[in-house]
């Protein structure tokens, strides 16, 4: 063949008209349907039912944030209590707390409570 000659090639795919749904073989439709259902089932399983589902992960993240806040508050309380241990209260302060909060008294002493 001389250069520049056009050759027409006929292939079997040219004769198929793929514009109608009826021309898609039934087996391919079934496979597509099964793949879509499998994908849908897998997505639903991942979101709701799996032991590490998306919903559980969101709950765990919220719980984690709350626990971190509680942990920070407890660390602040520990620092405060350690500073109180560094300078313990005097005997007079302990006696005042014992009298006011626990109703303790000395021997022979009469305590009168006044409610406001």
Distance CA 93, CA 87 (A): 12
In the block, residue with structure tokens 């709350």: 66
**Of the segments 31-35, 43-47, 54-58, 86-90, which one has the largest average pLDDT value?**
31-35
Q: What are the pLDDT digits (tens) for 25-36?
A: 677 898 999 999
Residue 60 in this model has a pLDDT that exceeds 80: yes
Asked if residue 115 belongs to a domain, the reply is no
pTM of this prediction exceeds 0.85: no
Q: Phi and psi of 55, rounded to 5°?
A: -65, -45
Number of domains in the chain: 1
Which of the two residues, 79 and 113, has the higher pLDDT score? 79
What token pair was written down for 24?
């898609």
Residue 40 resides in a domain = yes
Residue 2 lies in a domain: no
The radius of gyration of the chain's CA atoms, rounded to the nearest angstrom, is: 41
Dist CA 35 CA 12 (whole Å):
28
Domain that holds residue 76: 12-102
Q: What is the pLDDT of residue 76?
A: 97
């Amino acid at each position: 063949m001389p250069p520049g000659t056009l050759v027409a090639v006929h292939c079997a795919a040219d004769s198929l008209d793929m514009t109608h749904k009826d021309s898609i073989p039934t087996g391919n439709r079934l496979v597509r349907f099964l793949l879509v259902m499998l994908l849908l089932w897998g997505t639903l399983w991942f979101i709701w039912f799996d032991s590490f589902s998306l919903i559980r992960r969101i709950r765990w993240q919220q719980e984690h944030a709350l626990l971190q806040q509680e942990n920070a508050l407890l660390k602040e309380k520990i620092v405060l209590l350690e500073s109180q241990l560094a300078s313990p209260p005097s005997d007079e302060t302990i006696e005042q707390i014992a009298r006011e909060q626990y109703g303790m008294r000395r021997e022979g002493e009469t305590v009168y409570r006044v409610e406001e």
